[in-house]
Structure 1
Amino acid sequence: MSQKSLGGAILSGNCPRCREGNIFPVSMISYRRLSDVHNRCSKCQAVLTPEPDFFYGAMYISYAFSVALVVNVLIILNYVFDDPDVWTYVSTVLVVNIILIPVMLRYSKVLYLYAVGKLSYDPNWKNKSPELDE
């Protein structure tokens, strides 16, 4: 099997260690368990939640996504509609934010795990002993 690139693994929501197993148990379309994360990778058994409440730090990344969304919507509306009313700004930001909640929530957790989690890519994870990462 060919090795998946870092960008491809992040976009797919794969494990940082093996880049094969999924971080999330359900698809992005499922709103029922949208914020659930596997405790361990299904392929390499790496620990994806190293401590309770590990993903609280992902709120900062999600906040940055929301700010970027608001700024971009404001710029686009100002450019397209030439200074629309305030209700247009507010309603557009609310609708776009509700539509993009699954994307922002997922990718904030993925980026946080890749940035702060202590897992690094190991292309030879299959050849190592089956010890569990603790």
Structure 2
Amino acid sequence: MSLIHLMQNKCPKCHQGQVFSTTNLFSFRPAKMQEECSHCRQNFSKEPGFYWGAMYVSYGLATLEMALAYVLLISIGIDAFDFLNLAVCIALVLVLFPFNFRMARLIWLYLFTNLIES
């Protein structure tokens, strides 16, 4: 899996076309996936329910972000059981939701396109 192509929102097969209509992964506009790659015609809608598994990837991303935020807050001297930690972690996950949604779907698509194609 090419991390550079993943972050650039590129097709997992040809690395030319865009998977989402917006190229910015941090955009707050609603995510609209392309039906297929404009370059190689790779189908991004494998089957109904294909992206349900991306929820697990999204959960992992959110957990990692919350753990990193918690460690950062502890390292700057905020108490371990402070409600500020909880509020910051929840706010972080809510702000990063559009990124996590797009990134989870891209990771899921990259994993299964490369496994099936190899």
Q: Give the TM-score of the pair, scaled to structure 1.
A: 0.76
2:103 maps to which of 75, 100, 107: 107
Give, as a single letter, the amino acid of the residue that structure 2 aligns with 1:37: M
Q: Give the TM-score of the pair, scaled to structure 2.
A: 0.85
Give structure 1 stretches of 5+ with no counterpart.
121-134
Q: Secondary structure at the match of 2:96?
A: helix
* 1:1-134 correspondence to structure 2 within 5 Å: 6-27=2-23, 28=25, 29-31=27-29, 33-34=30-31, 36-83=32-79, 86-117=82-113, 118-119=116-117
Give, as a single letter, the amino acid of the residue that structure 2 aligns with 1:98: L
Given that residues 16 and 119 in structure 1 are in contact (C-alpha distance below 8 angstroms), is that contact kept between their aligned partners in structure 2?
no
Aligned counterparts of 2:3 and 2:59: Cα–Cα separation in 1: 22
Q: Secondary structure at the match of 1:81?
A: coil
Structure 1 vs Structure 2: percent identity of aligned residues? Answer: 22
Given that residues 25 and 37 in structure 1 are in contact (C-alpha distance below 8 angstroms), is that contact kept between their aligned partners in structure 2?
yes
Shift of 1:19: 0.3
Give structure 2 stretches of 5+ with no counterpart.
none
TM superposition outliers: structure 1 runs of 4+ over 3 Å:
none
Aligned counterparts of 2:117 and 2:38: Cα–Cα separation in 1: 15
Change (3 A) 1:100 1:119: farther
Aligned counterparts of 1:30 and 1:65: Cα–Cα separation in 2: 18
Computing the radius of gyration from Cα coordinates, the structure with the larger value is: 1
Given that residues 55 and 112 in structure 1 are in contact (C-alpha distance below 8 angstroms), is that contact kept between their aligned partners in structure 2?
yes
Shift of 1:6: 2.2
Aligned counterparts of 2:28 and 2:67: Cα–Cα separation in 1: 28
